Amino acid sequence: MDISKLKFPLVIIAVGFVIGLLSDLLLYGNPLGISVPIIIVLILIGLFVLAAVEGTKVLLGNLWLILPLLFMAAMSAVRAAPLLRFLNISGSLLLMLLLANSLSTRPLVKLNIGGYVEAVIESGIMSPLLSVVLIERGVNDIRQRGKLSKKVVRSVLIGLLIALPFLCIFTILFSSADLIFGGYVDRLFTNLHIGDFIGHTLLTIVFSLLAMGGLAYALARGPDSKRLFSRKPDPADDNEEKNVETLIEEENAKEIDKRIGLGMIESSVVLFSVDILFLLFVIIQFAALFGGEAFLRRQGLTYSEYARRGFFELLAVAIITLGLILLLDHFTRRETKSQRTIFLAGSGLMILMTIIILASAFERMQLYEVAYGFTRLRVYPHIFMVWLAILMAYFLVFLFLDKSYLFATGALVMSLGFVITLDILNPDAFIVRQNIARYEHGEPLDVDYLGSLSEDAIPAFLPLLDDYTGTIREQAGPWLHKHLIELDSRQAKASWPSYHFAINRAYNLLDARRGEIEGFEVPDWLFYRYD
């Protein structure tokens, strides 16, 4: 990338500074809320306005990133569960880095996993570094304007020095003449703390530099920029007569001789030995799944005992299997059609059995939830496993079509699907509803765990004060009082940028019953949450 090709570096610096200043005003001293989506929208507006000013050609094929970016940014101000907020905010950041890297370069679908990793790392490193280069370029542009700029700057400074004593005198006189004006001046100097001044300054500088560098990086990175890990040939942008499939076939043909690693025999031994082990395990799983409780009793097990272990181990098996096939696909030399067929048979069989193993893990987790209830540690992996199975099926299809390079984009889409599913489901509220439903069918209810969940759960948790036994009410009340204390503290220091849908809704619900809720004593141990 060439920063010197930017036409208006001073404009980029100005836009970056405005974004940094507004970010400071939105974030400093405020809990996170709608400030996050507002900042991201400001960055996107600045990016596309500058792209129009600079005449940067934006690649429309990569703009689909904006939709999940805006959705996840918005949901960070809607869902309050800590892990889900982290996933939304970190996911938004990763998508921003990908967008900056691919604004005017080749389509993202041409990247393999290494290309995606490189794109994120490169964006994360180059964005802050380029801010220094951009500022230097801006200073040089100012210097090139010659003595006229120096004369203007000198004149402005002299004018300010002359005006300063008069401004002080007039301010003192106005304060003395008008009590209201004097009150504003007194509050201004009373509230002006040196610590806050330093904090605002540092936060503005940091966000300004990141914004300047990120904008410059996105605008300066053109179609000719090279990637270290992408396996797609550079001529794809120069030779438009060839379609993508033809170019990929040519590149793969060239790479067969370049690959160092496993031969077909070694790869086959790995694939089919693992396949045999998987097949034995799958046969046992089918017996357990379709044999039902009678089969388990013959093994000396109950459903709950069978479900208590194995889920996370099977999930780990699926993830390791996926990595194994990806590595074998990359390093195995397949020089003939028969070798490619053997590789596809071995890897395809492994993927199919892995999907069956995931189905077994899904069933185990369902049994576990029925027997012991719903928690975050069970719901999150449960949903992740569904998307992992979809990814495995997706990979199987494109492996047979000899387009395994599309796996990386599929993995990105599936990851976004996982987070979006959590956002739509609202896990903490779901956990409360499901456990209350179990309680109504005679199962025990862990009120302390439900009370420890985030503000997302409050609308579903609050009815425990009214609709259930005195014991449940006495357990739920202290947790609601604890939430009210924490939300009172948050509201005391929060301004409008901190607005958060779930948190504000929970606060309004609790505040409406403040008198009743404050009647419950809060033990000290309640302030230590657990999952």
Average pLDDT over residues 419-445: 93
| Mean pLDDT score across all residues of the chain | 81
Give the pLDDT score at 528. 62
Q: Which of residues 287 and 313 earns the better pLDDT score?
A: 313
Give the pLDDT score at 359. 84
Two structure tokens written together for 503: 């948190």
Average pLDDT over residues 222-244: 49
Average pLDDT over residues 217-237: 59
Give the pLDDT score at 231. 45
Q: Do 450 and 435 form a contact (C-beta atoms < 8 A)?
A: yes
State pTM to two decimals: 0.79
Torsion, Cα of 400, 401, 405, 406 (10° steps): -110
Give the pLDDT score at 229. 45
Give CA–CA dist 96/88, Å, rounded.
12
Q: Do 135 and 215 form a contact (C-beta atoms < 8 A)?
A: no
Average pLDDT over residues 284-300: 64
Across 60-64, 85-89, 361-365, 375-379, least confident range: 361-365
Give the pLDDT score at 383. 92
Give the pLDDT score at 201. 85
278-295 core/surface letters (b: 16 or more CB in 10 A; e: else): beebbeebeebeeeeeee
pLDDT of 75 > 90? The answer is: yes
Amino acid code (one letter) for 426: N
Q: What is the pLDDT of residues 345-369, one digit of tens each?
A: 888 888 888 888 888 788 778 878 8
pLDDT of 57 > 90? The answer is: no
Give the pLDDT score at 301. 63
pLDDT of 121 > 70? The answer is: yes
Sketch the domain layout of the chain as residue ranges.
3-148+182-220, 259-425, 429-527
Give the pLDDT score at 150. 63
Q: What is the pLDDT of residues 376-422, one digit of tens each?
A: 988 998 899 899 999 989 988 888 888 877 888 889 999 999 999 99
Distances (CA, A) of 204 to 33, 73, 188, 396, 471: 19, 21, 20, 48, 52
Across 10-14, 176-180, 430-434, 525-529, least confident range: 525-529
Give the pLDDT score at 292. 58
Radius of gyration from C-alpha coordinates of the chain: 30
Q: Which of residues 438 and 306 earns the better pLDDT score?
A: 438
Q: Which of residues 153 and 68 earns the better pLDDT score?
A: 68
Give the pLDDT score at 519. 87
Average pLDDT over residues 206-220: 89
308-345 core/surface letters (b: 16 or more CB in 10 A; e: else): eebbeebbebbeebbebbbebbbebbbeeeebeebbbe
Q: Which of residues 264 and 421 earns the better pLDDT score?
A: 421
Q: Which of residues 519 and 176 earns the better pLDDT score?
A: 519
Range with top average pLDDT, 236-250, 416-430, 465-479: 416-430
pLDDT of 466 > 70? The answer is: yes
Q: What is the pLDDT of residues 165-207, one digit of tens each?
A: 767 776 777 677 766 667 767 766 666 667 777 888 888 899 9
